[in-house]
Amino acid sequence: MGTLEGKVAVVTGAAMGIGRSSAEIFSREGASVVVADIDEAGGRGTVDLIEASGGQATFIRTDVSVPSDVAAMVAHAVDTYGGLDCAHNNAGIAAPLAPLAEYPDDGWDRTIAVMLSGVYYCMKAEIPRMLERGGGAIVNTASGVGLVAYPHQAAYTASKHGVIGLTKVAALDYGAQGIRVNAICPGTARTPMVDEAVQRDPTLDAYLKTLHPIGRIGEASEVAEAAVWLCTPAASFVLGVALPVDGGYVVP
């Protein structure tokens, strides 16, 4: 029997990468899963994978930067499975790279809209439904770049630092009401987002390995396992943390 048998989980950015892996692991642990993403084909692919393994999942097209989409996502979970217990707010985009004074304003706006406001809209919609169930667990995907800075990454760094701040506020606001809110801070994990960056600059692969004291980059599933664990009863006393899952990236 899984650790989340009978629970309902929503995962944003679940069409690929860390989110797809998280959706599959929530299902392995017994949860019914709402797969949310702007990528319909990828999202339906995740549902197919879960159903092929005997799990229950449904897709809803959701742009997390649009509050009405996020409200519809949570309503879909309640209508389909009767409530909401767990959420992994994970959708993300590759932000532009430029020195701060040359940073493109449209790239700043889009990055903040998806990766910071998106997490805010998600928690705002999810928390009332979790309160109705007497509690729940939320994990937000921040980044190692939520804990330290990376040059030329103003928008990504600011948005991920912001996700950690939002996570802590929500933990303080709702921890005593049974909702545990935490964040994960991945180092580099092999996902389509990273594969595309490496294709653009093949020297990046070797460089990224040097940034991780463990001597390699991670797999999406290694990050997703930690995210789902934070939503299980095994993490019942863990609240408001920003957990590095990064092969030591933030240690030096």
Ligand X SMILES: NC(=O)c1ccc[n+]([C@@H]2O[C@H](COP(=O)([O-])OP(=O)(O)OC[C@H]3O[C@@H](n4cnc5c(N)ncnc54)[C@H](O)[C@@H]3O)[C@@H](O)[C@H]2O)c1
- Least Cα distance to 115 among 149, 89, 136, 148 occurs for 89
Residues 83-142 that bind ligand X (CB under 6 A): 90-93, 114-115, 141
Residues 6+ apart with CB under 8 A from 1: 30
Give the C-alpha separation, 251 to 65, whole Å. Answer: 32
CA torsion angle 135 141 147 150 (round to 10): -170
Examine residue 15 and tell whether it contacts ligand X (CB under 6 A): yes
Q: Is 60 in the site for ligand X (CB under 6 A)?
A: no
Restricted to residues 38-57, the positions that interact with ligand X (CB under 6 A) are: 38-39, 42
The stretches of 29-117 forming alpha helices (DSSP H) are: 40-52, 67-81, 105-112
Does 186 participate in binding ligand X (rule CB under 6 A)?
yes
Closer CB to ligand X, 12 or 32, in the complex? 12
Which residues from 188-207 bind ligand X, rule CB under 6 A? Answer: 188-189, 191-194
Establish whether 156 is a catalytic residue. Answer: yes
Closest by alpha carbon to 93, among 117, 71, 125?
117
Q: Of 156, 174, 207, 249, which residue is the catalytic one?
A: 156
Catalytic residue annotation: 156
Binding site for ligand X (CB under 6 A): 12-13, 15-19, 37-39, 42, 62-65, 90-93, 114-115, 141, 143, 186, 188-189, 191-194, 220
